Structure 1
Amino acid sequence: MKQVYLALLCTSALVLTACSSQPKPTTSGSVMKAANPEAAWAERQRVLAQMQQWQLKGRVGLQLREQSWSFGLDWAQRNSRQYEMQIQNPLTGGLMATVLETGSQVTLKAADGKVYQDTDAERLLARQLKMNLPLKNLQYWARGLPSPNVAVDAVKLDAAGRPTRLQQAGWVVDYASYEGNGTQALPSKIQLEKASERVKAKLVAKEWKTRF
């Protein structure tokens, strides 16, 4: 049972899934400069919002109160409502848990073969872990975009028009680095924190595969 709990808890870290009324961004950082960072930010949101299919391979570190875990992640997004996430042992690469959302149903299969299902991914993890996490938002945050589902509290941009910090839905999302210097570059290191629930997560992207 402990193994099931850890696999489910790990899953919550990854699923910690552009708004017309966003606050005006501020610019920070020292990178390749855009002529107008705010215009570059608007263009970034327009372009990356069209990215319906992508795959992210990397690793995640999760801290929940005084406990911490790390694990590998293979996340394949099929479209805005369908994805498959594989949670892997960070040392052996063995499969710890799989989360599959088909749009109408979410299935979580733990390492011991037990299967949990619901029609809502957030409710599924909340029921199993007694925690509420914004599962719909990370598919946007992972790409360096605000979620269109929630109002943006604040955003800071670098000189290329990319977010360095995004505050939304009670979470603070910090972008430590990107894969390249261009405006459309995808994040390579992301840190997330929700202070009210004492949850922190770090996502390191080792490989991105995209299809527009």
Structure 2
Amino acid sequence: MLKNLFAALLVLSLLGGCTTIQLEPLPEGMTDQPPANWAEQSRTLGQFNHWQLSGKLAVRQPSDSGTAVINHWEQQGEQYDLALSSSFLGMGSTSLRGTPGFLELQLANGDTYQSTNPEQLVQAATGWQLPIDNLAWWIRGLPAPDGNFRLLFDDQQRLAIIRQDGWEIRYDRWQAFIDDLPHLPARITALKDDKRVRVVISDWQRKD
């Protein structure tokens, strides 16, 4: 029992840290073998493509850091509408609307910018590096369809980590938000080099 407790605490401490986890060999209590229901779960979550969530976003990186309230993030297929509020860097109320490969960003002062490189635009406007196109997948507990990835599962057969495009996405907490769906992420942490993005979700809703 003490050995199992120690292993569980070790995994939690690794997941709670701010550096990527060494995966060779795999930490005790983790596996890269998907559970038997993974194919069905990922198919169900993939079909859950019109939704809205609210919560908080925190970004930490060497140049600057800050937090924002996610007033709403509505996703309909590949199209997203994200409204943030933050006093950080005078952002105020900021909206992001787009699809993969296109973003329109409106700042609190009414200035509007468009770009075919969403991550570059977000960084130029806010100083934050956000993998905006992939987040719509990661936030549901799925790898993005483009690019190689690696999945790791914990000893309770839950998705623990996605590694994709140089990012390590850790699933810190799952919760039953919608009755006829698998548990959805309630907190995720995305790490890349010395950057960290954490999303805490207070509410998920289906939008049909």
Aligned residue in 2 for 1:180:
176
Aligned residue in 1 for 2:151:
155
Post-superposition CA distance 1:131-182 (Å, at most 9, x none) = 7643211101101111111111x32113554311111110111111101399
Q: How does 1:131-170 map to 2 (within 5 A)?
A: 133-152=130-149, 154-159=150-155, 161-170=157-166
Aligned residue in 1 for 2:188:
190
Alpha-carbon spacing, 1:102–1:193, altered in 2? closer, same or farther (3 Å): closer
Choose between structure 1 and 2 for higher RCO, CA contacts under 8 A separated by at least 6 residues.
1
Q: Distance in 1 between matches of 2:121 and 2:45?
A: 28
Task: State the 1:120 CA deviation.
Answer: 3.8
Is the CA contact 1:146–1:166 (under 8 Å) kept in the aligned structure 2? yes
Q: Distance in 2 between matches of 1:207 and 1:145?
A: 18
Q: Which runs of 5+ in 1 are unaligned?
A: 1-24, 30-35
Q: How does 1:28-177 map to 2 (within 5 A)?
A: 28=29, 38-65=35-62, 67-73=64-70, 74-80=72-78, 82-89=79-86, 96-101=93-98, 105-125=102-122, 128=125, 133-152=130-149, 154-159=150-155, 161-177=157-173
Task: State the 1:206 CA deviation.
Answer: 0.3
What TM-score results when the alignment is normalised by the length of structure 1?
A: 0.71
Q: CA RMSD in A?
A: 3.3
One-letter amino acid matched to 2:42: Q
Q: Distance in 1 between matches of 2:28 and 2:135?
A: 23
Question: SS where residue 148 of structure 1 aligns?
Answer: coil
Is the CA contact 1:28–1:156 (under 8 Å) kept in the aligned structure 2? no
1:205 equivalent among 163, 184, 201? 201
Alpha-carbon spacing, 1:130–1:60, altered in 2? closer, same or farther (3 Å): closer
Alpha-carbon spacing, 1:185–1:26, altered in 2? closer, same or farther (3 Å): farther
Alpha-carbon spacing, 1:148–1:160, altered in 2? closer, same or farther (3 Å): farther
Q: Distance in 1 between matches of 2:206 and 2:135?
A: 16
Is the CA contact 2:82–2:97 (under 8 Å) kept in the aligned structure 1? yes
Question: SS where residue 143 of structure 1 aligns?
Answer: coil
Provide the aligned length of Structure 1 versus Structure 2: 176
Alpha-carbon spacing, 1:127–1:68, altered in 2? closer, same or farther (3 Å): closer
One-letter amino acid matched to 1:210: R
One-letter amino acid matched to 2:131: P
What TM-score results when the alignment is normalised by the length of structure 2?
A: 0.72
Q: Distance in 2 between matches of 1:95 and 1:76?
A: 19
Is the CA contact 1:84–1:99 (under 8 Å) kept in the aligned structure 2? yes
One-letter amino acid matched to 1:208: W
Task: State the 1:128 CA deviation.
Answer: 4.5
Question: SS where residue 172 of structure 1 aligns?
Answer: strand
Alpha-carbon spacing, 1:123–1:137, altered in 2? closer, same or farther (3 Å): same
Is the CA contact 1:37–1:159 (under 8 Å) kept in the aligned structure 2? no
